[in-house]
Structure 1
Amino acid sequence: MDSPQPPPPPPLPPSSLLHNLITFDTKLSLSIYTLTQPIFPRFFLKLLEISGDGRLFFPIILSVLLSPLPSTSPILFTVLVNLLIGSVLDLIIIGTVKHLVRRHRPVYNKHMFLTFAVDHWSFPSGHASRVCFIASVIYFSSDLVSDILGQLEVDLVGFGGYESVRWLNFGVVGWACATSVSRVLLGRHFVFDVAAGAGLGVLNALFVVNVLNCKMFFLVFQFLVVDQLFTLIHTDIGTYVDLFQLFKGQLCK
């Protein structure tokens, strides 16, 4: 009597597209990190890392909001509020995605101070998202930035308003690109982490500029400022409406 044949080995799992992409991303990121180590000074990459840190950005924007500058340029206040709201959204979006995906950082990542638990995860890059959001808001708000420079009587690099805005856009976009690339060169992230973070930052900026722009500010402005002025100086309803429309026309053009 023949002995029973052993069961056939289980079929090998098919190579998934996601697995191939992750493998390619890991190898590409390691190659870039290895090749660029002798080229770019680490202190310069660290400066870029610090410049895109939320622990630096939030105190700066809050300090400017509380300074006399917004009273000099009401449009500046709107742009600052957009940056603040979008940055909070950025933290929520990036933190949620990191918690859901849970991709580990590169094994060669060294000397990184982690503030939050989600910072242990690599996908997507929070730095890339933040700097691309900031640069995109400034770029998409070029007309408002031109008005702000005019109200503050600022003339960058000796040019007129249009040229000043063009150079400002060039500077912030270059800074965002350099900071995003530095995440791979420092070994903090993989290439796909940075690409995903940059894409989320641009989408966040589009949402803030086109959807939230002015609407939330005017709700706050109407209920906290204009209503108080109306109560204090007892203006008639016509003056109240004219005042609100004046500010709306100034800040939402």
Structure 2
Amino acid sequence: MRPSGPNQSKSTPSLLPIPKKKTKEKGIKGRAPASAGGAAVMAPASTSTRAKDLVKPAPAKGVLLGGIGDLDAAVSLRLHALFLPVPRLILKALEVAGDGRIWLPVPISLLLISTTTSSKVSPLLVGLVAGLVLDILFVCVAKLIVRRPRPAYNAAGMSVVAAADQWSFPSGHSSRAFLVAAFLAAAGFPREVLFLWAAATSASRVLLGRHYVLDVVTGACLGVFEAKLSSLLLSSMCGRSSFLVC
């Protein structure tokens, strides 16, 4: 039997459990509580969330394209998926054939050779080099202004020569191909063959996933415009220069 008396509370310790303070911290929604070291530990995302993130396409609008960029991206993705059976080797061959690292050095080399072997310079080479230089300037400026990301499904293996190459709008391959085709066709070369090559090169950019449809269409129009500028420049030079064989 327990002793009773007024001093019991002083001599007998309390047997009631002392409630513990809750130490569990409330984390932000979607985030686990902070660890002992004070660093927040991210809760693992659900499988469905990760799957959605993987298939979610990158923004395709750019600065100036607005809502048309989404429609263009949807059409481009559809075409890319539809023509997947096309052999990639053919598309890569078209990509290499329209590469600026080939088209710019070759005419410049031929132009330098012609100046050393003859007192006259071919206007064809002068106009072509002028057009290719204009193409580089116009395309780089447009890419840096619009800053449209390339398609999310763009496969690996694409060479990035300059900082502007990371952007998609407009297509430099397309503008270059149509510049060469329009300029050489005006000089008397087979028109059908040239424009067929230019169209195939432009289409390969969409099928490879490098560009959207609007990129290559704009590039084609830009290339024809550049060819016209080169022709006008050449006509002006022919009337004033004696070293051009016009």
Shorter-chain TM-score above 0.5? yes
CA-to-aligned-CA distance 1:129-185 (integer Å, 9 cap, x gap): 00000000012222xxxxxxxxxxxxxxxxxxxxxx4xx222111110100110000
What's the CA shift for 1:68? 5.2
Could you state the TM-score of these two structures normalised by the residue count of structure 1? Answer: 0.66
Tell me what 1:189 maps to: 211
Give the structure 2 partner of residue 31 of structure 1.
78
In 2, distance between residues paired with 1:91 and 1:80? 17
Write the mapping of 1:62-211 to structure 2, written as runs, cut at 5 A: 62-67=108-113, 77-111=122-156, 112-142=158-188, 165=189, 168-209=190-231, 211=232
**Structure 2 Cα separation of the partners of residues 77 and 199 of structure 1:** 26
Aligned to 2:67, the other structure's residue is in SS state helix
Relative contact order: is structure 1 or structure 2 higher (C-alpha 8 Å, sep ≥ 6)?
1
The alpha-carbon deviation at position 218 of structure 1 amounts to 6.2
Number of equivalenced pairs: 182
Q: 1:18 to 1:65 in 2, by over 3 A?
A: closer
What is the Cα deviation at residue 20 of structure 1? Answer: 3.1
- In structure 2, the residue matched to 1:53 is 99
What do the CA deviations read for 1:185-230 (whole angstroms, capped 9, x no partner)? 0000000000001101101111111x201433665x54xx6xxxxx
Query: Residues of 2 paired with 1:79 and 1:115: CA distance?
Result: 27
RMSD: 2.5
Which structure has the highest helix share of the two? 1
Contact kept in structure 2, 1:70 and 1:77, CA below 8 Å: no
Distance 1:113 1:131 in 2: 18
Tell me the distance in 2 between the aligned counterparts of 1:54 and 1:130. 7
1:63 and 1:217 mapped to 2: Cα distance?
A: 21
**1: CA distance between counterparts of 2:124 and 2:171?**
24
Residues 24 and 180 (structure 1 numbering): CA distance in 2 closer, same or farther, change over 3 Å? Answer: same
1:78 and 1:214 in contact (8 A); partners too: no
Letter in 2 for 1:43: L
Give the SS at the match of 2:168: coil
2-structure distance, mates of 1:104, 1:86: 26
List alignment gaps of at least 5 residues for structure 1. Answer: 1-16, 143-164, 226-246
Q: Which has the larger radius of gyration?
A: 2
Distance 2:114 2:215 in 1: 39
Instruction: Report the TM-score when normalising by structure 2.
Output: 0.68
Instruction: Measure the CA separation in 1 of the matches of 2:151 and 2:129.
Output: 30
